[in-house]
Amino acid sequence: MRFELREVTSPLLLLMTPIAAIAVSLFLCAGFIAVAGAPVMGAYGHLAKGAFGSAFAITETLTRATPLILTGLSAAVAFRARLWNIGAEGQLYLGAIVTAALGAHVEGLPGWLADLVLILSGGLAGMLLLLGPTLLKLKLGVDEVVTTLLLNFMVLLLVSALIEGPLRDPLAFGFPQSAPVSDGAMLPKLVAHARLHAGFIIAVVIALVVATIDGYSVFGFAAQAVGLNIRAARFAGIPIERVLVCVALMSGGLAGIGGALEVIGLKGYVTLDMSPGYGYTGIIVAMLAGLHPLGVVASSIFVAGVFVGADAMGRAYNIPSAIADVIVAVSLLIMLLALLFARYRLRWT
């Protein structure tokens, strides 16, 4: 048995890979559901219904998908250039806290301008946070996996200090949360009585912009070349350092915008449980999407659907909703395997 490189990987195969991976992981996770004592088909039925079965379910799923689209794009953009940004979680929180801090002071501005300022400053915060590790990597060869990962914890501590201290909301009955942004700066809801907000539209538009940059611009071309073969890129005269710095700014900025949208789209303030690991889940989302920006939108909705649906499934059969984490994790593992098969062919000898 050996692996042979495929000469051609057809687009159909690339499209089928994540779908097959998801199908296989649902099949495997059926075992866990059975062990938890629920009928498998019924459980998956509730999961699907809970995620997409009603207008309300769909709005919930899309609400969850919004930050995942941005952290997924953040990972996709960086990973394509082989910049291993594991710090989207920190960039998201920093973007959120900067947005919250400024958001309390934008009362005089018209709503759209306030939104624009807040989104951009959230993005800027994320950019600056990833700039440090990237410069350390380029100038001193410091491994960005370590620096970006560890910065997540530092940012979380910083956010904690801020919302317990200077940014604390005095009207929150002692709960550690930041003072809310002014009402005028909150994004409009898309559907009455649901949490879904305009941030989702913004996220999809951003994904389209990123896809355009990736596919049609000189910068996208350069980033692709750097990621696929850095030696050839350098030989061809592509300015490696400048490209990687721009990639870092884009990646960090996207995650920061994700944090900003969460703040001005949902609650209006920052708490320490604002993100259930959106930054890390973004990596899974990006991998499932094969690092393609538009694929990120689809895989975000899938992953968000699993999380939202698993709650419904858990309620219906009294099984732990942590099964959602298992499904998403297994689908990542299967996807990694499936990517191997998309690139190589197995030959029995």
Partner 1 sequence: MKVEPDIAIRLQRITKRFGPLLANNGISLVVGRREIVALLGENGAGKTTLMNILFGHYVADEGTVEVFGRHLTPGSTRAAIAAGVGMVHQHFTLAANLTVIENIESGTESFLRPKLARRWSRQRLCGLSSRFGLAVDPDALVGTLSIGERQRVEILKALYREAQVLVLDEPTAVLTPQEASSLFATLRRMAAEGLAIIFISHKLDEVRANADRILVLRAGAIVAERTPATATRDELAELMVGRRVVRPRRDPLPSGIPLLEAQGVSLHDGHQLRLDNATFTVREREILGLVGVSGNGQGALADLVTGLAVPTSGRLTVLGKPILQSDPRWLVAAGVARIPDDRHAVGVVGDMSVWKNAIIERVGTPRFSRCGIIRRNAAMMYTRELVERYDIRGAPLDRRARLLSGGNLQKLILGRNLAAAPRLIIANQPTRGLDEGAVARVHTQLLEAKRRSTGILLITEDLDEVTALADRIMAIYRGRLSPTIPAEIADARGLGLMMAGHWDETSNAV
> Please, which residues have CB within 8 angstroms of residue 57's CB and are 6 or more apart in sequence?
49, 50, 51, 308, 309, 312
> Please, which residues have CB within 8 angstroms of residue 299's CB and are 6 or more apart in sequence?
18, 72, 285, 286, 288, 289
- 139 belongs to the binding site for partner 1 (CB under 8 A): no
> Please, which residues have CB within 8 angstroms of residue 52's CB and are 6 or more apart in sequence?
58, 61, 305, 309
Which three-class secondary structure state does DSSP give residue 90? helix
Residue from 7, 75, 111, 136 nearest 277 by CA: 75
Instruction: Choose the stretch contacting partner 1; rule: CB under 8 A; options: 74-82, 156-164, 234-242, 280-288.
Output: 234-242
Query: How near is the Cβ of 228 to partner 1 at its closest, in Å?
Result: 5
Q: CB-wise, 225 or 257, nearer to partner 1? A: 225
- 341 belongs to the binding site for partner 1 (CB under 8 A): no
Instruction: Choose the stretch contacting partner 1; rule: CB under 8 A; options: 4-12, 150-158, 171-179, 263-271.
Output: 4-12
- 273 belongs to the binding site for partner 1 (CB under 8 A): no
**Ordered DSSP codes for 139-207:** HH---HHHHHHHHHHHHHHHHHHHHHTTTB-TTSTT---BPPPPGGGSPPBSSTTS--BTHHHHHHHHH
Instruction: Choose the stretch contacting partner 1; rule: CB under 8 A; options: 64-72, 89-97, 228-236, 303-311.
Output: 228-236
Among 10, 54, 217, 318, binds partner 1 (CB under 8 A): 217
- 140 belongs to the binding site for partner 1 (CB under 8 A): no
Among 232, 336, 337, 346, binds partner 1 (CB under 8 A): 232
- 208 belongs to the binding site for partner 1 (CB under 8 A): no
- 237 belongs to the binding site for partner 1 (CB under 8 A): yes
C-alpha neighbours within 13 Å on the C-beta side of residue 80: 28
Separation between Cα atoms, residue 158 and residue 106, nearest integer Å = 23
- 229 belongs to the binding site for partner 1 (CB under 8 A): yes
Query: How near is the Cβ of 63 to partner 1 at its closest, in Å?
Result: 34
- 228 belongs to the binding site for partner 1 (CB under 8 A): yes
- 151 belongs to the binding site for partner 1 (CB under 8 A): no
End-to-end CA distance of the chain: 5
Which three-class secondary structure state does DSSP give residue 3? strand
Among 236, 322, 340, 346, binds partner 1 (CB under 8 A): 236
- Beta bridge partners of residue 347, listed in sequence order: 2
- 12 belongs to the binding site for partner 1 (CB under 8 A): no
State how far the alpha carbon of 234 is from the alpha carbons of 142, 144, 195, in Å.
20, 20, 48
- 1 belongs to the binding site for partner 1 (CB under 8 A): no
- 225 belongs to the binding site for partner 1 (CB under 8 A): yes
Instruction: Choose the stretch contacting partner 1; rule: CB under 8 A; options: 28-36, 120-128, 150-158, 217-225.
Output: 217-225
Residues in the site for partner 1, rule: CB under 8 A?
4, 7-8, 216-219, 221-222, 224-225, 228-229, 231-238, 349
